[in-house]
Structure 1
């Protein structure tokens, strides 16, 4: 019984082996019948390039959106308050160097050039002395003077002519202080003036400007300008006849 079973098992195994061989041959014949083409390299590359283009377009769109957001940010919030506005298209012309209003002590002669000095006195109203050389005695004498006593938003004026020297001088009484003062003669010659004032808030000061001696026989106009270019005060002085 055992021997017969062994023989049957061997026969069954041989049958299974023949079936496996026949199945393998059939699969090989089917595989050989399938045409084999070249590797699809070009197609893969084309699909890769298309994918990269889509990713690049997406990134570019994101950058554009970011720039647009940054451009809008300065229009609101704290950045707007710190933004410096652009200058106007047509700025007002500057016709003279801005006046530097210097503060000087009372009664102290202040050299102004070409051997001349000026001194401002707190006594009286718009009281000052101008002259060549040592003016100390003139300053002491002026302590008893009342000064120009000009009205608000006004100017006084005088000049010293000595050979080749022409010195325009006067007092101003304006609020605010002038940003610049200019002297203009009848012939159109312009001279920027310098200015002095006393400490504190005296409400007045003096100006001086050296001009062309050839215009000594002409009248002149003195104009005080504010920081915005507007006229604070202006006055015309006619020509003085005689030596």
Structure 2
């Protein structure tokens, strides 16, 4: 029993034609030799692409690092306002002024010492009030007593191994003439202060050469009205060159 052909079945002529075309294409395909693949060029191109990507990434990173250094935000800009930038100003450094060396401190002035006088040399405190020394003791005159007076340092009334001060005084015409002998102190005598009813009076010292162990002090002061000129209210202090007390009278 013969089956009828459907429209999907190719005709016998068409099938034979298709077979011939297939064979012809196969033969042509065998005759074509494919060119070799450009592998080296592909690798070079790939390397160039990778290098460009790396360069772009590094450039972007460096730009992010340099932005804080190249831009300075001016203070006082409001929040949300566009930032105003300016390059950082160069810092000028002024050279430090030269340091002047500190001058050395001036040495302190030496403490005063008694005036050294020759035996019998007269020293005038004020006109009429004169003093001079000999090995035996103190000699002096005052305006009211022009005849010389004498105070011995060798008659035994003064023990020169002990420290002490004597006082002789006279008053005339509102002035008071003070003097005395100092002796036996430690160190070198330097100055004398006399506390009187008129205030503190600073006197002067005289000595013979050769460190005799005694000397004479003298001072002149005004009398305070209403006070007994012979009422002793004095304190006499002879200081040494070290600032201590050489001898004192109370």
TM range (shorter): 0.5 to 0.7
Structure 2 Cα separation of the partners of residues 195 and 22 of structure 1: 121
SS at match of 2:60: coil
Partner of 2:218 in structure 1?
208
* 1:202-226, Cα deviation, whole Å (9 max, x unpaired): 1100001112222524212322234
Q: CA deviation at 1:233?
A: 2.8
How many corresponding residue pairs?
165
* 1:63-116, Cα deviation, whole Å (9 max, x unpaired): xxxxxxxxxxxxxxxxxxxxx9xxxxxxxxxxxxx7641111110101223453
Q: Tell me whether 1:180 sits opposite 2:156 in the alignment.
A: no
Structure 2 Cα separation of the partners of residues 119 and 167 of structure 1: 15
Q: Which protein is richer in strand relative to its size?
A: 2
Higher alpha-carbon Rg: 2
Question: Gaps spanning 5+ residues in structure 2: where?
Answer: 1-35, 70-104, 106-110
Q: CA deviation at 1:174?
A: 2.4
Residues 148 and 235 of structure 1: CA distance in aligned 2, closer, same or farther (over 3 Å): farther
Counterpart among 95, 100, 110 of residue 123 in structure 2:
110
SS at match of 2:203: strand
Residues 147 and 21 of structure 1: CA distance in aligned 2, closer, same or farther (over 3 Å): same
Counterpart among 232, 235, 238 of residue 249 in structure 2:
235
Partner of 1:40 in structure 2?
62
- Written as runs of structure 1 = structure 2, the 5 A alignment for 1:1-243 is 19-34=39-54, 35-36=56-57, 37-38=59-60, 40=62, 43=65, 100-122=113-135, 124=136, 127-132=137-142, 138=148, 149-151=157-159, 152-175=162-185, 176-185=187-196, 187=197, 189-214=199-224, 216-219=229-232, 220-236=234-250
Residues 136 and 103 of structure 1: CA distance in aligned 2, closer, same or farther (over 3 Å): farther
SS at match of 1:131: strand
Q: Which protein is richer in helix relative to its size?
A: 1
Question: Gaps spanning 5+ residues in structure 1: where?
Answer: 1-14, 48-83, 85-97, 237-243
8 Å CA contact 1:99–1:193 kept in 2: the answer is no
8 Å CA contact 1:150–1:156 kept in 2: the answer is no
* 1:142-183, Cα deviation, whole Å (9 max, x unpaired): 699967841231121101211122111000112323333222
8 Å CA contact 1:171–1:207 kept in 2: the answer is yes
Structure 1 Cα separation of the partners of residues 212 and 182 of structure 2: 11
